[in-house]
Each structure stands twice: as C-alpha cells, then as structure tokens.
Structure 1
C-alpha cells in the first residue's frame, strides 16, 4: 500500500533572469519508494512552461540541512539561519532555490514518522520488484 506525504513550500529562485519573489513547490514522499523524495515545480515557474520534478535521496535533503552535500544533479547546503539551498543541474542549465529550513525539517519529520531512517528496506516488496525486473527482461 502506497502512502504519500505532500507538503507545499515556498522556494525563492536565485537567477539572473527577471526575479520572481517566490515560486510554489511541493515536496513529495511515497512510502513505496522509501529512499527518495521528489520536489515538483509547477509549469508557470519553469522556463519550459511544463511541470518539472526532481527525485533525489531523502538522505541528501537531511544531510544538506547541516552541511553541503551532493556531487551530481542535485546539491543541497545550509544558508544562513533558516534557509537551505537546493541546486538542480541539468544540461539546459542550473536552477538554484532557497527554501525555509524549518519547512524541510517539518517535511522530513513527517517522512521519518512514516518510515524511520534505517528501516526503509522493510517497505520494499522484493518479490514484486524481482517479478517486475524479470517481466521487463523478457
């Protein structure tokens, strides 16, 4: 059974383009994919005019509240007293947003109540995953 947590957050876009004061974003956590979180930006907030989402490790978000982390497409670091910077790197360019750290902490607390850190593997249905893998291999 899939249980999803969604939380709206205010993201402040850091860009050279005309400045948007803030853009809405949504953090998602799905118990059926217990190691990952997703951050979604609505179509009006993106250059392409379509909804864009990034999926990355819950652990990356957790560590990024305290220290810089990430070497790939998503990087997270603390900024000041109550801001966290998330950088999203793509071939088209880089998007940098600031989010209130307290919003991220509240989201992570909710995900931890649903699936405690270290127990994510118990949420996986390995028999189902293996059957899907084998089905796709045919």
Structure 2
C-alpha cells in the first residue's frame, strides 16, 4: 500500500463503560471488561493521502465473555468503543463510521480496528485492508 505511520497516540483505560456507547455500553454494565487499551494513528503516502486508524484491545475474564462481546460489536449500529480523539494527532475531528472495520478474537481479548480517510483520496478497498492489517497489531 506504500503508506507509512505519520503520527501515533495511545492510552490505556481502567474500565470500558465510560469509553463506549449504545448496546456495547449496555453490555459492559452487565459484563465489565478486564482491560482496555486504545491507540490511534495516521498513515499516509507520498501523494498526501492520509487515513486514520483506531485500534482497541478489549480484555475479558475468559474466552466465552470475549466471544459474546465480539458477536455484539460485529453488528453495525450496536455501538462501539469510543476511539481516541483525532485532534490528539493534530487532525480535524473525524467520526468513525464503522464502515471500514475488522475485529478478531485473541483468547480472552477482542481486537477492534477501524479506519477512515483524513485527507486526499483513500479508497474503501485500502481502508478495509488497513483495518484488517491493524487488527493484527500487537498490543
């Protein structure tokens, strides 16, 4: 894809409830997470095309709780983990739509990756591929 990381920020959280919304938030009321780590970074190419990538690692007590959460989070419109704010990267506020999304289970952790264009022309195919690759990043 010929893109490189331009800026990056990361923050751990002590709980998930205040960093989520929708049915996902309701899920955390009944089934609290064990850990939450979020990162946000911008990638770009030499033509000025920039995409923003959000990755969240949500830890649970066991694989069963993680699997239940993954089933919910994978349904578009059920809510989300709130991504870190793009102004932390000196970018305009970008709303993540969930249209370029990938998640995967890793034991008792669910990894959620989302991407959005920030500037220039970044195709949906590239955004989808970046979300897929980002879901495999180590915590």
Structures share a fold, TM > 0.5? no
Higher relative contact order (CA 8 A, sep 6+): 2
TM-score bracket for this pair, using the shorter chain length: 0.3 to 0.5
TM-score, with normalisation over the residues of structure 2? 0.35
